[in-house]
């Protein structure tokens, strides 16, 4: 049973990793220090009424990609205190792989 925000974020991240074409938009940090946690967790914010996930799209078009993400992520919230939370997906970047070769 998921009881903490961190546990929820970890489960959300695991579900997101099953969706081809998306990745977490974790901040880029200099490798000056070794970190003992998954930096991708920094792309997820869990509040009482909103679960926000910042994403980078690796493929297009976005609408079907985001629908697949919601289908994978919504079940993670069910049965938790965040079951009624709004799921906010923010595409903060498009990977170059999303564009066909030679497209300008």
Instruction: Give the residue-averaged pLDDT of 20-41.
Output: 80
89, part of any domain: yes
Contacts of 48 (CB under 8 A, 6+ apart): 81, 82, 85
- Count of domains in the chain? 1
Percent of the chain with pLDDT over 70: 89
79 occurs within a structural domain: yes
Classify residue 48: in a domain, yes or no. Answer: yes
CATH code (residue 71)? 3.30.70
Beta bridge partner(s), residue 3: none
Domain containing 72 equals 5-26+38-98
Give a yes or no: residue 83 inside a domain: yes
Per the DSSP assignment, residues forming a β-bridge with 26 are none
Indicate whether 33 pLDDT > 70.
no
Inside any domain, residue 32: no
pTM beyond 0.85? yes
Phi and psi at residue 55, in whole multiples of 5°?
A: -130, 155
User: 22 pLDDT exceeds 70?
Assistant: yes
Is residue 33, in this structure, part of any structural domain at all?
no
Res. 35 pLDDT band, cuts 50 70 90 = low
């Amino acid at each position: 049973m998921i009881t903490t925000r961190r546990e929820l974020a970890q489960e959300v991240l695991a579900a997101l990793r099953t969706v081809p074409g998306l990745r977490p938009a974790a901040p880029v940090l200099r490798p000056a220090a070794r970190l003992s946690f998954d930096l991708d967790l920094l792309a997820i914010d869990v509040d009482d009424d909103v679960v926000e996930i910042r994403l980078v799209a690796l493929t297009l078009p976005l609408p079907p990609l985001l629908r697949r993400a919601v289908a994978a992520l919504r079940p993670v919230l069910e049965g938790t205190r965040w079951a009624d939370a709004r799921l906010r997906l923010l595409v903060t970047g498009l990977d170059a792989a999303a564009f066909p070769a030679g497209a300008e």
